[in-house]
């Protein structure tokens, strides 16, 4: 699996669930500060996410990867792809999440996570994929456009009582991400 200096990517195992949940909550607070109400971000629950990640990794209907720091093996990012949930049904698969802590962004690990997911999707005979991104996330949108994602329609995603406007990006052939 690819690496950049002291960072590398590997498939997640069930024992990673708590660390992924902690990074998940931390990344949401970093990424969506100012985009989502502070009370929604303050209310994010690590324990609920730990259960969700345990279930998801154990059931293997989706593929989850973690970005780890060498040495301690500390998890600093993650990504998940799997069956279509919220993007248009004409795509074969959905990129369900991709998050890196701010201090490891911009070092090629986002591209490496996309490559790992593309390989997993190809291995499951999935050709096309899409994701949803917050419409007001210029950094992530620029990243997806740089990697060849084609902008599709808009939608919304509910977090507690807050609706965030989303934009779809799709790849008709995920092998371009390999």
- Contacting residue, 35, 37, 107, 155, with ligand COA by CB under 6 A: 107
Segment interacting with ligand COA (CB under 6 A) among 8-16, 56-64, 103-111, 153-161: 103-111
Site membership for ligand COA, residue 111 (CB under 6 A): yes
- Contacting residue, 109, 118, 129, 177, with ligand COA by CB under 6 A: 109
Distance (Å, whole) CA 24 – CA 17: 10
- Contacting residue, 8, 86, 137, 159, with ligand COA by CB under 6 A: 137
How many CA atoms within 13 Å lie on the side-chain side of 80?
23
- Contacting residue, 68, 105, 129, 130, with ligand COA by CB under 6 A: 105
User: Based on CB atoms, which residue is closest to ligand COA, 106 or 153?
Assistant: 106
- Contacting residue, 110, 120, 167, 174, with ligand COA by CB under 6 A: 110
Site membership for ligand COA, residue 99 (CB under 6 A): yes
- Contacting residue, 12, 66, 96, 98, with ligand COA by CB under 6 A: 98
User: Based on CB atoms, which residue is closest to ligand COA, 44 or 133?
Assistant: 133
Cβ atoms within 10 A of the Cβ of 119, count?
17
First to last CA, the chain: 12
- Beginning with the edge strand found earlier in the chain, give each strand of the sheet holding 93-100 in spatial order: 3-4, 7-11, 63-69, 75-82, 93-100, 129-134, 162-171, 150-159
**Structure-token pair, residue 97:** 């999440």
Site membership for ligand COA, residue 5 (CB under 6 A): no
- Contacting residue, 83, 88, 142, 153, with ligand COA by CB under 6 A: 142
**Structure-token pair, residue 168:** 């779809």
Are 69 and 62 contacting, i.e. CB atoms less than 8 angstroms apart? no
Are 35 and 138 contacting, i.e. CB atoms less than 8 angstroms apart? no
Distance (Å, whole) CA 151 – CA 169: 4
The site for ligand COA (CB under 6 A) is made up of 27, 31, 98-100, 105-111, 133, 137, 139-140, 142-143, 146
């Amino acid at each position: 699996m690819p690496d950049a200096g002291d960072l590398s990517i590997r498939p997640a195992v069930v024992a990673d669930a708590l660390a992924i949940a902690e990074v998940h909550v931390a990344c949401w607070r970093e990424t969506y500060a100012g985009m989502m109400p502070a009370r929604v971000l303050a209310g994010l629950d690590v324990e609920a996410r730990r259960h969700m990640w345990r279930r998801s990794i154990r059931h293997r209907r989706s593929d989850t990867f973690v970005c780890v720091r060498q040495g301690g093996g500390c998890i600093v990012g993650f990504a998940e792809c799997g069956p279509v949930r919220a993007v248009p049904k004409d795509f074969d698969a959905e990129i369900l999440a991709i998050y890196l802590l701010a201090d490891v962004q911009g070092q090629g690990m986002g591209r490496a996570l996309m490559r790992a997911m593309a390989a997993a999707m190809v291995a499951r005979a999935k050709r096309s994929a899409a994701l949803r991104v917050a419409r007001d996330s210029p950094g992530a949108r620029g990243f997806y456009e740089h990697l060849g994602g084609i902008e599709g329609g808009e939608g919304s995603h509910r977090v507690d009582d807050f609706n965030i406007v989303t934009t779809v990006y799709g790849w008709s052939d995920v092998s371009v991400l390999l």
